[in-house]
A and B are shown apart, each in its own frame.
Chain A
């Protein structure tokens, strides 16, 4: 019983980090109708940003996190400028390919600059594990859950309650109508990319402490985020968060009970089954076909 609870808590922490990745994914998908395949590599870049900043500045992790996130937002703007805006009037497949290419560039640039050896980022909170009977939740796992909750809530507030959020949502729903209403559509799209990269960066900085980060560690993440988004239903932010938590829990529990390979295989099989049987996702309604 205790083990199951323990696993559940660990899974929740992992799922919280996935949620940040998946949220960024949905933001860009909604704003542009295109899939950003470099999202996983942005997570990796966020991990490196945190690790590099930590080696340059003698500051605690909590202070470094906003800096890493800020740097990643800038990188997000660069992604939009290089891989999205030149291709906006082309079929969505073109953006898919350009973001795959950009991911390749990010990976190899990181490899060339910092080498293949794994890095770690400083912990956000280095305190003693929180104990509750025989349950233990490491400070970092707690920090991940806390930071992710904060960021998800902030994003929810931003989208639901602010004028900027309204403009973002209007752009996502109908770009031409938004433009006709005087919303600066391209600025909103660029902002979506920046926000997505910032969320990915936060996820990277958080994960890079518990797990090592290497230049190629983005690849697996993109699939996890993708699966979370599929489970949650395309375009649904709430669904993406739920999906990510489910993926994190499932992965942690099955990996502990059977093996990591089995967890991955089952996840992919579940993904195929959901795509084929219920393409609108497990939760929420269909977000419409964005063919």
Chain B
């Protein structure tokens, strides 16, 4: 049992909460005192837009994908409510549920193929989906009223009583908005939010952490669809009419503009964006025809000048000075599980076009063994590391860790299965702190990341403190405890390797693969790195070190494997290998050897 002092988590959410509080208080005051019936109606509609934007933030803001189907999901929700309300006289609870479920079902059906697509393909596929939805609605006139739409949608009825328009309706809609906002807060302000930040900034860093990118994107897309359906249903109840305009591209663009202008990852951003763009046309009446022009220009200006939107700009402007970590009750940490496993590689072949990068390579790393992989430039060392990490698929051969076959698993899966990959140039998401990064890595092996996990509170409260305490212990183990709260981008190379090592160990690996870890380090740092590598091996973890630096590698490695032009030309004890004529030839050139 060890104990660790967790520092206070960086409270990045505070500015968002304060801003939300201010906005809500202001709105409540306005609604209760100043608002006319027309004003209350606009306020209610603004609430629907807030919900729409809150949903869009999941896919656009957090997952970082440009979906152009959010307007279609909104329209589907609105039409579901209108059809069920006017034709079948369903009550609110039932029709609202269906209005959320219909877009969810459509999103689930298209998500699996669509999310495989790279950025603009995804945008295009969702745009196509939106166009198909619009054409369907226009041409299924019997059900949807065609271009005219449906009128006479009943209001929101609770317990057989219709909520009167005006303040009660506004209060009802805004309470549902509050529920949506709280849910979104819960889902995105924990480590799951940090996981999405890594996914957006660097796909390789996300894979190295073992993050399930596909699942994270899928759940974001579904949530966005569900929120859009709810928003559409509420708008249909508020307006009493639904027309095909709800499915047109202009609504989608408005939603996008609200999200970008307000801020795409903050709850206050959804509030600000939706309110501003709902009220702006009212305030800009004096501009007459030029109002939409101002609105396009504002969107362009925001994306250029304030990438995090107004809410982000406010938060940066009133940033509080960083608090020093406050000591908290020490947590008792269970010893981390270790899962020693031998790496076995047999007959591995990788071709790039006509070039054979790896030619029937065999390699074994026993638990607790340090194996050095050397070879001239271009001999295939990094290719081998990429294959082991699942970043590149081999053409032939066997790769196993323990009894587990590794081929075809994908990089994130392999990271969770026990191979941690360190990179030649540290791959660290720039804005995350070391503490968050390592805590994130701790969550992935245990499956404690993602919206479902957040909903269960797996990254909140005590558990989060526990994860952070574990992370801090790991950071302490590489001499980085004092820098735990520094953003990754600000770490110099002499500290970055330590963080890479801590992240690698956080995954409870059976094997750690390090690609030229000593490059660019001074003599003292190299000695410390060698010491850490020995410590890792002493815990029963295999270490594969790719390195050019022989003075560093020779005393550290138990065995050396030499690659030349994609083939293993020598292997054995370091002192034997460096005297192998084939190795000397590979390094010094064949002519000299034969001469």
Residues of A at under 8 Å CB distance from B? 35, 82-83, 86-87, 90-94, 96-98, 100-105, 107-109, 111-112, 219, 223, 226, 230, 261, 264-265, 268-269, 271-272, 275-276, 279, 289-291
Complex contact A279–B117 (CB within 8 A): yes
B128 proximity list for chain A (CB < 8 A): 268, 271-272, 275
Residues of B at under 8 Å CB distance from A? 60, 64-66, 113-114, 117-121, 123-125, 127-129, 131-132, 135-136, 138-139, 200, 203, 249, 253, 256-257, 260, 289-290, 292-293, 295-297, 299-300, 303-304, 307
Complex contact A91–B300 (CB within 8 A): no
Given the known interface contacts A269-B132, A276-B113, the answer about A101 and B299 at a Cβ–Cβ threshold of 8 Å is yes
Complex contact B113–A93 (CB within 8 A): no
| Across the A-B interface, the 9 shortest Cβ-Cβ residue pairs | A104-B296, A291-B118, A101-B299, A105-B296, A101-B300, A108-B293, A108-B292, A276-B113, A86-B304
Complex contact A290–B299 (CB within 8 A): no
Closest to B113 in A: A276
B132 proximity list for chain A (CB < 8 A): 265, 268-269, 272
Complex-state Cα separation, A10 to B118, whole angstroms = 35
Complex contact A97–B303 (CB within 8 A): yes
B64 proximity list for chain A (CB < 8 A): 91, 93
Contact of A101 among B60, B65, B257 (CB under 8 A): B257
Give, as a whole number of angstroms, the nearest-CB distance from A274 to chain B: 10
Complex-state Cα separation, A83 to B299, whole angstroms = 11
A276 proximity list for chain B (CB < 8 A): 113-114, 125
Complex contact B138–A261 (CB within 8 A): yes
Contact of B118 among A82, A83, A108, A289 (CB under 8 A): A289
Complex contact A272–B121 (CB within 8 A): no
Complex contact B124–A271 (CB within 8 A): yes
A103 proximity list for chain B (CB < 8 A): 296
Given the known interface contacts A101-B296, A279-B117, the answer about A112 and B125 at a Cβ–Cβ threshold of 8 Å is no
Give, as a whole number of angstroms, the nearest-CB distance from B146 to chain A: 11
Given the known interface contacts A275-B117, A275-B125, the answer about A223 and B299 at a Cβ–Cβ threshold of 8 Å is no
Give 9 new A-B contacts, CB below 8 A, not counting A108-B290, A265-B135, A275-B121.
Answer: A91-B64, A92-B120, A97-B256, A104-B296, A108-B289, A108-B293, A226-B124, A261-B139, A264-B135
Complex-state Cα separation, A264 to B128, whole angstroms = 10
Complex contact B297–A105 (CB within 8 A): yes
Give, as a whole number of angstroms, the nearest-CB distance from B250 to chain A: 9
B117 proximity list for chain A (CB < 8 A): 275, 279
Give, as a whole number of angstroms, the nearest-CB distance from B315 to chain A: 19
B125 proximity list for chain A (CB < 8 A): 272, 275-276
Complex contact A94–B293 (CB within 8 A): no
Complex-state Cα separation, A149 to B471, whole angstroms = 64
Interchain Cβ contacts under 8 Å between A and B, 27 examples: A87-B304, A94-B307, A96-B123, A97-B299, A98-B300, A100-B256, A101-B303, A102-B296, A104-B295, A107-B292, A108-B292, A108-B295, A109-B293, A112-B290, A230-B124, A261-B138, A265-B139, A268-B128, A268-B131, A268-B132, A268-B135, A271-B124, A275-B128, A276-B113, A279-B121, A291-B118, A291-B119
Give, as a whole number of angstroms, the nearest-CB distance from B411 to chain A: 15
Complex contact A104–B253 (CB within 8 A): yes
Complex contact B66–A96 (CB within 8 A): yes
Give, as a whole number of angstroms, the nearest-CB distance from B156 to chain A: 33
Per DSSP, chain B at the interface is helix
A271 proximity list for chain B (CB < 8 A): 124, 128
Contact of B119 among A90, A92, A105 (CB under 8 A): A92
Complex-state Cα separation, A111 to B203, whole angstroms = 42
B138 proximity list for chain A (CB < 8 A): 261
Give, as a whole number of angstroms, the nearest-CB distance from B576 to chain A: 42
Closest to A99 in B: B300
Complex contact B293–A105 (CB within 8 A): yes
Give, as a whole number of angstroms, the nearest-CB distance from A53 to chain B: 23
Closest to B304 in A: A86
Complex-state Cα separation, A101 to B135, whole angstroms = 25
Complex contact B120–A96 (CB within 8 A): yes
Given the known interface contacts A91-B64, A93-B64, A289-B118, the answer about A108 and B123 at a Cβ–Cβ threshold of 8 Å is no
Complex contact B200–A91 (CB within 8 A): yes
B293 proximity list for chain A (CB < 8 A): 105, 108-109, 112
B203 proximity list for chain A (CB < 8 A): 291
A226 proximity list for chain B (CB < 8 A): 124, 127
Complex-state Cα separation, A4 to B203, whole angstroms = 51
Give, as a whole number of angstroms, the nearest-CB distance from A290 to chain B: 6
Complex-state Cα separation, A35 to B260, whole angstroms = 18
Closest to B249 in A: A219
Complex-state Cα separation, A291 to B213, whole angstroms = 14
Given the known interface contacts A223-B127, A268-B128, A289-B118, the answer about A97 and B260 at a Cβ–Cβ threshold of 8 Å is yes
Complex contact A104–B65 (CB within 8 A): no
Complex contact A93–B65 (CB within 8 A): yes
Complex-state Cα separation, A35 to B431, whole angstroms = 27
B123 proximity list for chain A (CB < 8 A): 35, 96
Most chain B beta carbons < 10 A, residue from A93, A109, A219, A279: A93
Complex contact A98–B304 (CB within 8 A): yes
Closest to B136 in A: A265
A112 proximity list for chain B (CB < 8 A): 289-290, 293
B256 proximity list for chain A (CB < 8 A): 97, 100
Complex-state Cα separation, A177 to B296, whole angstroms = 36
Complex-state Cα separation, A272 to B66, whole angstroms = 16
Complex contact A264–B131 (CB within 8 A): yes
Give, as a whole number of angstroms, the nearest-CB distance from B521 to chain A: 26
Closest to A102 in B: B300
Closest to B60 in A: A93
Contact of A223 among B131, B260, B289, B296 (CB under 8 A): B131
Complex-state Cα separation, A149 to B562, whole angstroms = 58
Given the known interface contacts A93-B64, A101-B299, the answer about A35 and B120 at a Cβ–Cβ threshold of 8 Å is yes
Give, as a whole number of angstroms, the nearest-CB distance from A38 to chain B: 10
B296 proximity list for chain A (CB < 8 A): 101-105, 107-108
Give, as a whole number of angstroms, the nearest-CB distance from A10 to chain B: 23
Give, as a whole number of angstroms, the nearest-CB distance from B425 to chain A: 15
Complex-state Cα separation, A290 to B136, whole angstroms = 32
Complex contact B66–A104 (CB within 8 A): no
Complex-state Cα separation, A261 to B140, whole angstroms = 12
